[in-house]
A and B are shown apart, each in its own frame.
Chain A
Amino acid sequence: MATKLNEVLRGCRAGRVQSVGLMQVIPLLAESDNRFSKPSALVVKTSNYGTLVFENKETSMQIVPRDSGYLTKSGSQDHGMPTTRILESERNLTYDGAACIEESQGGYIEGDANIIILPFPLREASLVTRDVNSYNKLWKYIGAFNKAMGLPSGGGHINIFLREYEKQLARFVAEFEPVPGQVGAIVIIGGRIVGVERTPSHEYWLDIWEPMIRECYGSLVLYFERNMKDTLPRLRKPLAEDIISLNDLATDLRDVEELELVETSNVVNALMEEEFTTEVDEERAGFTIETLMSTQFVGQTIREELNVVYASITATKDQVHRDPITTELFQMTP
């Protein structure tokens, strides 16, 4: 089967672009579907290395986010969930294809984990290996990622990166703000679309927003910042230098904002026609989970007939790879 991105985003409209440094975020606004609880309400445990157990104690349904990570401060091994899943109210779900992301740390998670979304460069590997039942499947990718960020590879320890870059990652939460009615976002880094995220409701979005912008997309910005020489992101335009009056300045500001909007819209519109092949992963409770692939993106959606309630679509290494300096980062992806 095939689908296009404009079908995935049906019902959404764009909010005003937020732009800080290399990253731009286009809020996606839509009516909220309040049938789903927020992800942090899930109780998450491990029953074995590589096996995550999700307990939905709420009276509403749950969506486990794609590439979510579960980190604990106690002596347990952190885990990543490579695929999205739906969970009915007051039900449990066991998934055996999870990945350990803290190589030499033993111990099972006992319901005290904090949720993250995996750093962007790990997400493609995480998704395409989702059906591989091997708890150590992401270790080499994590090690390569740490090395690419100038850290000792440390094996499969995501915490090496998260600890070292904690302050820098925190600034992304400061710089971008969720807006009323927001259920998702299109994320642009260095002038290229790197992610399309859609969640069922504003409440769900608010719950997942910080780990999304911080650990996931923030990590990609940090890598770009280590290597990019540009001082402005591709879609950010400067004001004219030779302005002589305030009225001219006001006009120039309006023109620049209009130009940025047009260029951003062009980038986004080009994406809307992107065609994806789809493969059904699971059908449950009247919803269909599909994995989407194209030459430039991979991702997943959850549909109820034609209505998409959840989508998480990220750029492949080829899409991000259009600039030679990013080759090193993505050599580790399959």
Chain B
Amino acid sequence: MELEVIKDRLAHIPSSDYPAVGKSFVHLLDTLATGAPRGSFYNKQAEIVKAIWDVHETTFNIDRGLYGIMLAFPGVMDYSKQIGMDLLLDNPFNGVSFLTVGQEKKLLQHLIDSMPITRQLKTFGRFADARINNSRTRKLILRSILNDKELVWHAVKYRGKLRKALVHAWGQRMSSILQSILNKWGERESLTSKEMNIIYSTIDRHLVDGMIVQTTNELLETIRFILGSDVVENPILKAYIDANEDPEKLSALPPEVAEGKRSVFHKDISPADVLKKTAKKATVGQKISMQKAAKKAGVEMEFDPSKYDAVRLYVYAYEMGMTDEIKDVLKVKAQEAAEKLPIAWDNVSIIVDNSKSMEGHGTQKMRPIAVAMAMRDMLMASAKEGSKVFGGHHELPIPVGDTSIASAVINAALMEPDAIFIITDGYENAPAGRTAEVIDRMRKMGNDTPIMQLTPVFSAEAYGTRELSEYVPVMPVKGPESLGIGMVKTMLEVDFERGIQALANVTNRSVPLLEAPGEV
């Protein structure tokens, strides 16, 4: 996107406000990459949620369009997208925005499409709970659900959540009318013209071209099932109903649905038996997360490591152990990620903080150190000539003990690298502030080796990431793919307009929002 176009679209923000606005967006980028509504090693969940919302609302109120394109940036967490969608849909478009109304609509569809089905349904549930019920929201929900190519499979897994979303979109009254119409058994041709019009206005007009002819009957039956009817002919939907009585039907269902049915209707069958019957139907995500349960049950559940990102593989390896196959895949992924970096180096030094706080907490356990390992691998692969690692050179270093980074910085600098990366949560106690002192002395003696801090956690009390030194830009990361956010952040701090240009250009690769000025 041309810089002149950027300037034109930013005309409503005084240039004197750029430093403050840049800072707000930097905070937002920190939050988008690391903020998750789970407690960290240090902060309780409620603190983190409030801190995240504060940052989102501040930047939304500056410019909803700029705020929106940041949500489409690669590496943004789904939780951040959910908050963004709440804000964009709950607040009417008022014309003062970096994006046009059509571009914002496209953005919203992209955001929902980029999430897995579970998160999509959770998002729709949030709309219902928050009573966000305008036309844009209804269309978004219906377009997403009705065009789902795997709706039958999702219907048996998430029947209740789908029902909630559809009833919210159609309203209780229209949902009841539609259910009555769909309960009339038979082909579409048996319906009256008034009923056909209702089908058209509630379902057909939200379908992408090409779906109307081929899948209408299956779609109608699935919607009828979702809304509560047990009269079905589709084999999967029928297996769902029949499995209450007939345990043989469990094998046709997804593993977790089958297990749910077993625990209620067939307690005499063991969970291990159900897992054996349904293992082949597990999703890609389930195949890695159910390894422990499968091993315990004596069930072989193979998974293909190449289908998972590096961080997930490291979390798995910390739980189940490293294998040669995983090591090989990690090497390939590191190389692929390194090739996508906007900057390449000849030599890098990498300092890994493997203190106890990098262990993470609760549902995020081992995730910070897993992110550190994935980043380490990528940075090593990015160095054309060589690299040196301090603190995290083992295959799976165990986070333990206190945090001493200062001496590692000096040792790293003595290698005369092109850049030093410090992968840390930012908490230092051996002693606190020593790294800042060391870097200060380095700068004063004329050593200007670039030093960058990569931080894999979100700290609520810092409203962003926690910095080791004022000389060291901090880049929040959730994995190798989110390093780009850090690069953009650095530019937003030094040159706001070029930072926005970089942001828009990167975002446009994944969702072409900005093809032409004035596009509606």
Contacts and interface: CB of A to CB of B under 8 A. Distances in A.
Interface of A: 16-21, 24, 167, 170-171, 173-180, 236, 238-241, 243-247, 249-250, 253, 260
B427 to A, nearest CB: 5
A253 B431 CA distance: 12
Contact of B414 (A24, A171, A239, A250): A250
B431 A19 contact: yes
Nearest to A180: B400
Nearest to B429: A18
B355 A177 contact: yes
A249 B441 contact: yes
A332 B42 CA distance: 33
B403 interface: yes
A331 B28 CA distance: 47
Contacts of A17: 430-431
Contact of B432 (A21, A173, A238): A21
Nearest to B411: A250
Contacts of A174: 41-43, 357, 427, 459, 461
B402 A18 contact: yes
Contacts of B272: none
Interface of B: 41-44, 47, 355-357, 400-404, 406-407, 410-411, 413-414, 427-432, 434, 437-438, 441-442, 444-445, 447, 459, 461
Given A246-B410, A246-B414, A239 B429 contact: no
Contacts of B459: 174
Nearest to A237: B431
B400 A249 contact: no
Given A174-B427, A177-B402, A179-B400, A20 B432 contact: yes
A249 B442 contact: yes
Contacts of B438: 239, 249, 253
B364 to A, nearest CB: 15
A18 B410 contact: no
Contacts of A243: 441, 444-445
A180 B401 contact: yes
Given A246-B413, A250-B410, A179 B402 contact: yes
Contacts of B355: 177
A18 B427 contact: no
Contacts of B410: 246, 249-250, 253
Contacts of A179: 356, 400-402
Contacts of A16: 401-402, 404, 430
Given A179-B402, A239-B441, A243-B441, A173 B42 contact: yes
A19 B430 contact: yes
A21 B434 CA distance: 11
B403 A177 contact: yes
Given A19-B432, A171-B42, 8 more contacts: A18-B430, A20-B431, A170-B44, A239-B438, A241-B441, A246-B445, A249-B438, A250-B407
Contacts of A260: 431
Contacts of B356: 177-179
Nearest to A24: B431
A175 B441 contact: no
Nearest to A167: B461
A265 to B, nearest CB: 16
Contacts of B414: 246-247, 250
A249 B42 CA distance: 33
A170 B430 CA distance: 19
Contacts of B402: 16, 18, 177, 179
Contacts of B430: 16-19
Contacts of B403: 177
Nearest to A245: B445
B255 to A, nearest CB: 36
15 contacts: A16-B430, A18-B430, A167-B461, A170-B42, A170-B43, A177-B401, A179-B400, A180-B400, A239-B441, A241-B441, A243-B444, A246-B414, A247-B414, A249-B441, A250-B414
A246 B431 contact: no
B431 A177 contact: no
A167 B337 CA distance: 38
Q: Which 10 A-B pairs have the closest CB atoms?
A: A19-B431, A20-B432, A174-B42, A18-B429, A177-B356, A179-B401, A250-B410, A20-B429, A243-B441, A239-B437
A175 B442 contact: no
Nearest to B359: A177
Nearest to B426: A174
A245 B410 CA distance: 10
A184 B407 CA distance: 27
A175 B402 CA distance: 9
Nearest to B403: A177
A101 to B, nearest CB: 22
A174 B361 CA distance: 12
A175 B355 CA distance: 11
Most chain-A Cβ atoms within 10 A of its Cβ — which of B41, B429, B430? B429
Nearest to A260: B431
Most chain-A Cβ atoms within 10 A of its Cβ — which of B41, B432, B441? B441
A117 to B, nearest CB: 18
A192 B410 CA distance: 31
Contacts of B43: 170, 174
Nearest to B437: A239
B73 to A, nearest CB: 28
A262 to B, nearest CB: 15
Nearest to B410: A250
Nearest to A182: B401
Nearest to A251: B410
B112 to A, nearest CB: 35
A170 B40 CA distance: 12
B67 to A, nearest CB: 26
Nearest to A171: B461
Contacts of A246: 410, 413-414, 442, 445, 447
Contacts of A247: 414
Contacts of B400: 179-180
A175 B432 contact: yes
A318 B445 CA distance: 45
B429 A175 contact: yes
Contacts of A244: 445
Nearest to A210: B42
Contacts of A241: 441, 444
Given A167-B461, A177-B357, A246-B414, A253 B406 contact: yes
B407 A175 contact: no
A253 B437 CA distance: 10
Contacts of B42: 170-171, 173-174
